[in-house]
Structure 1
Amino acid sequence: MIAHSATAALLATTALLSGCGDDAPSSTSMPSGSAAMPTATSSSTPGAEPAVVDTVATGLAVPWGLDFLPDGRAIVTERDTARVLAITPPADSGEGGEVVEVGRVPETAAQGEAGLLGVAVSPDFETDHLLYFYVCTSDDNQVVRATLEGDELGPTEPILTGIPNGYIHDGGRLEFGPDGYLYVTTGETGEDQLARDRDGYAGKILRITPDGDPAPGNPFDDEVWSWGHRNVQGLAFDGDGRLWASEFGSDTFDELNLIEAGDDYGWPVIEGVGGDPSYHDPQLTWPTDQASPSGLAYLDGELWMAALRGERLWRIPVDGASASEPTAYFEGDFGRLRTVAVAPDGRLWLTTSNLDGRGEPVDGDDRILIVEP
């Protein structure tokens, strides 16, 4: 078990250089309390390797959120520009997809890791035309929604406000569950003890209705679904409706967690596996130089997890409520990988994040790749 003392706040320099989930210090040692946990390897599986088969778009600026419309187009957010893009899948001719700016989210106040983050398409989009966004403003973080009519984004309407914001660790992933409710990840903004405040929004996974109210059946009769998180940036539901989350660690371990309603995931008391029944232990852990996990997607019995600092895509088999034997692909081939999503055709869309201030961009960055799993 790794114990951490409480801190009122992290100094900005320390957060950027060492404490930030995007670039946490590496560690190759494993605490004794974590010895039983499966850990990631960098091996590949002969005869079953995924391949990058196409490029959807190039020249993007920190693409962050990604979801698909019923007509097959993708909605993509850019963190720093606040642009909302509609991207048509590439044609069989090999030409890239058409990229159209449909609007901007004007409330966005981009700084550090903050900006326009996650997006989720309404499950009833064909009738309500609604898109949901997680946006960092100058005052707080908010969930807002807006209609998309053709190629035009309407004005935004806030449905959940007052989420603490920060230069780092703003969470930001949105995902509609099979129950029709919206799941929202928040970070602890670099102030560890906010994750221990059960009544606050920071360091949590929230579950709300499409109108922003606490969803029926929530464990505490408020918006909170789970708590004690540092900075969850990936959510995925498996084929049986279980919720999985990828989470930044600090000095030692990043995590993949199976989320249970009302459970406490231990931050900052525990990083990685602690074995204390008061806290929900992760399913898998990684040394921070191999992951800094962001996006998460589920397809045909496997989770796919994009790694920022680790610059690789992890494939993780899932058997019921257990995850095991992760395998890494594309190590260093495309730089920092931010978001992975399952497209309507069953392939994966994978975004790079080399223009986010921590990468080493090359010509064409940032880009969206198509992966044949």
Structure 2
Amino acid sequence: MPTPFIHDTEGDSHKADLSYIEAASKAIAPVLKSGDLVVLESTSPVGATEQMAAWLAEARPDLTFPQTHGESSDIRIAHCPERVLPGHVIRELVENDRVIGGLTSKCSQRAVELYKIIVEGECVVTNARTAEMAKLTENSFRDVNIAFANELSTICHELNINVWELIALANRHPRVSILQPGAGVGGHCIAVDPWFIVDSCPEHARLIKTARIVNDDKPKWVLEQIKQQLDQIHQNKPNVSRASIKVACLGIAFKPDIDDLRESPAMGIAEQVSALGCQLMIVEPNIHQLPKTLAQSASLVSLDEALVQADVVAVLVKHKPFIENTAKLINLAHIIDAVGLLNTK
């Protein structure tokens, strides 16, 4: 699990909440004994492993720790960030390379011995701070590149250019590999981890911060496209009330073909649509019931039901069942395609 943000009243805090690591440290401290290894796997800001070691030392003054006794310490401490893809966790736990950063060389060695019991990939040794930064960097790299694609999509919309055709053409260059735009960036990693870098070094993390802002703004842009379709319906049919208009959101998971709704831009869009006064229909083939934030204001329906009843359809996630039914979607009068489902170029 990742380290969450500290929640403030405005909901825009980007400082890491280390209270969970502190609580876990205090929970295991009573059972520690000389020779034990403690590994922090949670994706955390730089310095979190050292802070964990300090909490453990405070709780157990009868034991020695790497920060004070180096290689001769009673307890070994390391950071080894997880690298797994939802839906493939067990396979990737075994097959993926692991970055292992101990507070000392012997800490790293002990951690490697542990992980090699199950890991078939390479265990690459570094220090704890670099291991922490490695995971943040991996997810920030993805975030920055997605932001480039998302920004292209909004520019191309203004210039009346098919962004998916444009990207396909640009990617014919042997050294260009642009990602696909979408409704935003979600999940518990890519949408969160870059902020840890920004918070740790705000005066230098300018590109990383800008990418976060671009990706956080993309759902707002998609929502504006939905509003424009609603306005168009009102213009064409002035006597139609907002409450009688049905909007179908196709997909609320944070990525295709999973049931994970954490930090999902699509779900955020759906929640905003529910506040527009229209009837909201959700098509999410990977869940059996709506989350609490949508349960009172929306209905979970099948794709066929949505296509028959909805006045406006917004494709927010590129799930396989939607791809398989593209032909049913392509000629709809009021459709927003945030993921390139209908792209025929």
TM (norm. structure 2) is 0.26
Structure richer in helix, relative to its length: 2
Q: Which has the higher contact order (CA 8 A, sep 6+)?
A: 1
TM-score (norm 1): 0.25
- Name the one with the larger strand percent: 1
Larger Rg: 2
